[in-house]
Amino acid sequence: MHLLSLLYWIALLIPGFAVLRRWDRSLIDAGPLATISLSFVASLALLSPVSILGFLFGFPVWVLSAATILFVLWGIQDLVRNRAGDDLIPLVKGLLVAEVVLLGAVLWADARIGSKLGADALIHMARIRQFLDHGLTNVDPFVKGDHFYGIYHTNLFHALMASAAQLCGTDQMGVWFAFLPFANLLVAGGIAFLAYRIFPLGWTSWLAALFFLADQGRIDFMTYPNKLAPFFLIPIVAGLLIQTLAGRPTRKQALQLGLVCLVIAQFHGMYAVFTAALVGPALLGFAAWQFLIKRRNPTPWVAVGIAVLVALIWPAISKYDEVKTERETLALKIQRDADPNAVQVSSRARNLLVGKDADNAKFYTINEVAGFEVDWIMKDPSRGWGGGRGFRYWLLGGGLVLGLISARRRQVLLACCILASCAAFLYIPPLCTFLLWLVDARWIILRLETAAFPVLFPALAVGALGWWLDKLVESRAKVVFAALLFLFMAYSAKAILVGLLLALLAVSGLWWLLIRLPFKKYRTEPPYHWPHPWTRALCTLITVAILPGAFAYSGQATVGYLPLDLSFKKADQNWSWFWSYANESEEVRGYELAALRRNRFFLAETIPEGETILCRDTRAMEAVMLRDLHILAPLRSSSGVPALSYLRGINQMMINERLDWPTRSRLLKDYGIRFYLLQGNPKWYPDHVKVRDGRRQLFQDPEQPTWKLVELDPDS
């Protein structure tokens, strides 16, 4: 039943497509994949005012749901009234190609596997549950009180998830679980749009999108906002920027860039900052060039820059709240130090759940430059995206050479400006050090890398390869190239790839007989002039099968390795696991979702809403995600809660076996805690269980023996 929520997301494409036709029909020429993502972004922009007002005034979710229904109905009548068939038929025809077999296989597996339900997904599902219970709010869902939730404040994505759950009659877990195939579809469309703006061929955009999915499509957490923002929305911003700077900017182009940046901020504020950092230098450079060299009015470029900077309002609000919270934390610490009766938490207990910064090894430390002492850092080029024996840099360099000698060199240079902005912050020590001072976390710098290199690589390198292959369409060179690579692939691959090749050739032949000839009278885009569809299918399979082997995350990958055979660092994120798990029974695939729903029922039967519970680690966050409860401090997020590390330490102290009962009892009373969600079998609680009507208040789920709950008696 949870897959019904996919109909909600598909329906949201309707008003966005209607807006695209009215706004700029040239955007639809980017092909069906790009049009899907652009239509969704347009719908998000339409719903943004409703969402923002909802968070400001605390609207219930049904207001956003009603607005969604109204926009969808308007989109339907607009498309019918304006006879959208002339635009829809070429788009539908654009989906009837051999590449859809590969895309459909990934999306089918996504629908069966579902989104990740643990780790950071608990944070997002907790927000969705909070909206369903209390309406749109920016209050922290984990800690009791009116603490501002700055990390995901005024979040359109979470609000729409709650609306989808409400309209489809499912819960926060069901709507989250079912979103994975649509997330990968949006990501593929974003990459396709960027590739099309650099190399305007439909086949090139398909290659880039499929290549990206071959590298990233196996992961089950593409639903996270910190994945959708860089892989779905930032490519669209980059594509629009390249289109804008390739000519003379207009007010409409500035406005559309600003709207997409606004949508990014409503997904993840940090990536709004990254967007400005990536495109800002290119905009400044072009404005200076026009003003100083060309002696032209730089106002259009300034307008585009201002549009991009509008989205920085979201992270600015988060930063203001963070500074305010730090001041409150300092005041509370001074107050505790002055109080002799205050419970002090050791630094070890306070930092127990935070852990060490594992990203330090990915940076160089520079202590001396030209005889002067400095304290600089820079990203290690051989770690992260640059891992894998440097194959990615070689492939990127080869793609840039192919692009720069093509007729699209201007667009390639514009894309290189974005890459250069990212590289400057990563590999120029003073800039990298300044960025670390600004963000105060090395993992954030690594996120900047993922917002540029993995996105622009398929569009540049794979796109350039596709561009030149398409230029060879009238010669025998393409067939010879395809045959040689096929022999290499057959030598390296297993029988399953040969079967996949035969399936692609069969689909390509059926496409030619049943689709190409009947629809010949309609306008087509360049890829359809291939003389033999099997040649295109063969080149597609080879490109997306062999190149990701060299691009693989594992340092052991070489060109002879294929995606189905790669071994990645995480055993649950390789393609072998992906396909095998997708073919498991529904009972196996849905076990985690069913277990969470049983746990929700157990909590609903045993704990009243609004209680603050004692629990540790991710189970505490899971409890808040399942029911309207509170905890002292979550493992992650809750940046607006003062003295968060102190509260983590208090939580650890109360669970610790060694703590004496008088201190534990006092803390339980101070923080209003009555219920303890056990993990393991601690020895301190049996003597302090609440007795009501002669019965000890101890509960256990018979189907989940590890879920035990007790009501404590602090006065015992």
**Residue 411 banded pLDDT, cuts 50, 70, 90:** confident
Give pLDDT, residue 541.
61
Copy the structure tokens of residue 176. 């989250």
R_g of the chain computed on alpha carbons: 27
The 10 Å Cβ neighbour count of residue 187 is: 25
**Residue 372 banded pLDDT, cuts 50, 70, 90:** low
The 10 Å Cβ neighbour count of residue 239 is: 28
Report the pLDDT averaged over residues 591-615.
Answer: 87
146 in helix, strand or coil? Answer: coil
Span of 43-47, 136-140, 483-487, 584-588 with lowest mean pLDDT? 483-487
Distance CA 544, CA 165 (A): 36
pTM of the shown model: 0.85
Give pLDDT, residue 166.
93
Q: Which residues contact 90 (CB under 8 A, 6 or more apart)?
A: 522, 523, 524, 525
pLDDT digits (tens, 9 = 90+) for 630-652: 998 888 788 888 888 888 888 88
Assess contact for 362 and 380: CB atoms under 8 A. yes
Average pLDDT, the chain: 77
The crossing angle, in degrees rounded to 10, of helices 85-95 and 32-57 is 110
Give 205-247 as a DSSP string: HHHHHHHHHHHHTT-S-TTSHHHHIIIIIHHHHHHHHHHHHTS
**Does the structure show a pLDDT above 90 at 212?**
no
373 in helix, strand or coil? Answer: strand
pLDDT digits (tens, 9 = 90+) for 302-312: 777 777 788 88
Report the pLDDT averaged over residues 432-437.
Answer: 80
Instruction: Classify each residue of 147-159 as buried b or exposed e, where b means 16 or more C-beta atoms within 10 Å of its C-beta.
Output: bbbbbbbbbbbbb
Return the higher-pLDDT residue of 271 and 436.
271
Highest mean pLDDT: which range of 25-39, 47-61, 75-89, 702-716: 47-61
Give pLDDT, residue 398.
75
Assess contact for 700 and 711: CB atoms under 8 A. no
**Residue 515 banded pLDDT, cuts 50, 70, 90:** very low
Report the pLDDT averaged over residues 444-463.
Answer: 84
**Does the structure show a pLDDT above 90 at 514?**
no
**Does the structure show a pLDDT above 90 at 233?**
yes
Span of 171-185, 541-555, 601-615, 658-672 with lowest mean pLDDT? 541-555
Return the higher-pLDDT residue of 89 and 136.
136
Give pLDDT, residue 359.
56
Distance CA 242, CA 418 (A): 10
Strands (E), 104-231: none
Span of 378-387, 420-429, 553-562, 616-625 with lowest mean pLDDT? 553-562
Give phi and psi for 92, each to the nearest 5: -65, -45
pLDDT digits (tens, 9 = 90+) for 263-285: 999 999 889 888 888 888 877 77
DSSP state of 712: B
Give pLDDT, residue 616.
79
> In this prediction, what percent of the chain has a pLDDT beyond 70?
78
The residue behind tokens 């009507």 is 693
**Does the structure show a pLDDT above 80 at 242?**
yes
**Does the structure show a pLDDT above 80 at 437?**
no
**Does the structure show a pLDDT above 50 at 217?**
yes
Distance CA 696, CA 690 (A): 6
Highest mean pLDDT: which range of 91-100, 554-563, 646-655, 704-713: 646-655
Give pLDDT, residue 49.
93
Distance CA 581, CA 583 (A): 5
Q: Which residues contact 571 (CB under 8 A, 6 or more apart)?
A: 577
Distance CA 194, CA 209 (A): 10
The one-letter code for the residue type at 608 is: P
DSSP state of 27: G
Span of 37-46, 510-519, 687-696 with lowest mean pLDDT? 510-519
Give pLDDT, residue 640.
85
Distance CA 377, CA 387 (A): 19
